[in-house]
């Protein structure tokens, strides 16, 4: 069984209340995030490849993390970024949720280190659970947002870093979609993700 297979075991019986808590975040409530990020229905695009994190109906819990081409032109593969934990050194900590779901939401989850490319982690989709450290991604600004004329909003340049104990990986699109071991680079385009939105900063 690979790292993500081990990570997924026993996760599919989580209570609906856990996912609901992630979707109805209230700033300042005990145990919840203090960044108040709620960016629904966005695409998360790898800057190097200009491919999106694959989401939608074909990536439910149990599916592998992947990238998909043509998503921006095709209007597919929508993601919700939702605050899920207190800030990490002033940066929002979010879940990367599949925007297309019925019932429980599914979140992009990193598996155990050592099973992915370059000694990193594999990624996949699992039922959202704010208590699962593999689903907690710190959003780090790699460069200031730019106005590039996109009607969806400003172009953001974001690293997603899982700082949870035992993980320490950066979401990377260089070999599929995996967790690169160590902190993110603000100059490595494989680790920079573009999001177009005018919603609140983080």
Q: Please say if the pLDDT value at position 63 is more than 50.
A: yes
CATH topology (fold) of 3-9+40-197: Trefoil (Acidic Fibroblast Growth Factor, subunit A) (2.80.10)
Q: DSSP string of the chain?
A: --HHHHHHTT-TT--HHHHHHHHS--TT-TTS-SS--EEEEE--EETTT--EEP-STT--TTPBP-EETTHHHHT---EEEEEEEEEETTEEEEEEEESS-SSS-EEEEE--TTSSGGG-EEEEEEE--TT-GGG-EEEEEEEEEE--S-TT-EEEEEEEEE-STTT-EEEE-SSSSEEEESSPPSS-GGG-EEEEE-SPP-
Residue with tokens 């160590």: 182
Asked whether the predicted pLDDT for residue 155 surpasses 50, the reply is yes
Residue 103 has a pLDDT of 64
Tell me the per-residue pLDDT of 2-51, one tens digit each, with 9 for 90 and over: 455 544 443 333 322 332 233 222 222 224 456 679 999 999 999 999 99
pLDDT tens string 97-151: 998 766 678 999 998 888 888 889 999 999 999 999 999 999 999 999 999 999 9
- Measured CA to CA, the distance from residue 187 to residue 175 in angstroms comes to 17
| Per-residue model confidence (pLDDT) at position 34 | 66
pTM of the model as a whole? 0.82
């Amino acid at each position: 069984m690979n790292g993500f297979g081990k990570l997924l075991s026993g996760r599919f019986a989580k209570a609906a209340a856990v996912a609901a808590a992630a979707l109805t975040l209230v700033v300042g409530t005990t145990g919840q995030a203090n960044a108040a990020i709620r960016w629904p229905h966005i695409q998360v695009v790898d800057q190097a490849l200009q491919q999106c994190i694959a989401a939608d109906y074909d990536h439910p819990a149990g599916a592998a993390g992947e990238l998909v081409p043509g998503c921006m032109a095709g209007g597919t593969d929508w993601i919700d970024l939702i605050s899920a934990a207190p800030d990490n050194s002033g940066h929002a900590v979010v879940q990367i949720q599949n925007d297309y779901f019925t019932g429980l939401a599914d979140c992009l989850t990193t598996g155990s280190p050592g099973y992915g490319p370059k000694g990193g982690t594999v990624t996949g989709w699992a039922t959202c659970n704010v208590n699962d450290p593999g689903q907690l991604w710190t959003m780090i600004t790699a460069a200031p947002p730019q106005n590039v004329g996109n009607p969806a909003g400003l172009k953001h340049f974001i690293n997603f870093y899982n700082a949870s104990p035992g993980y320490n990986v950066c979401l990377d699109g260089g070999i599929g979609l995996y967790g690169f071991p160590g902190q993110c680079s603000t100059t490595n385009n494989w680790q920079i993700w573009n999001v177009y939105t005018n919603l609140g900063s983080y």
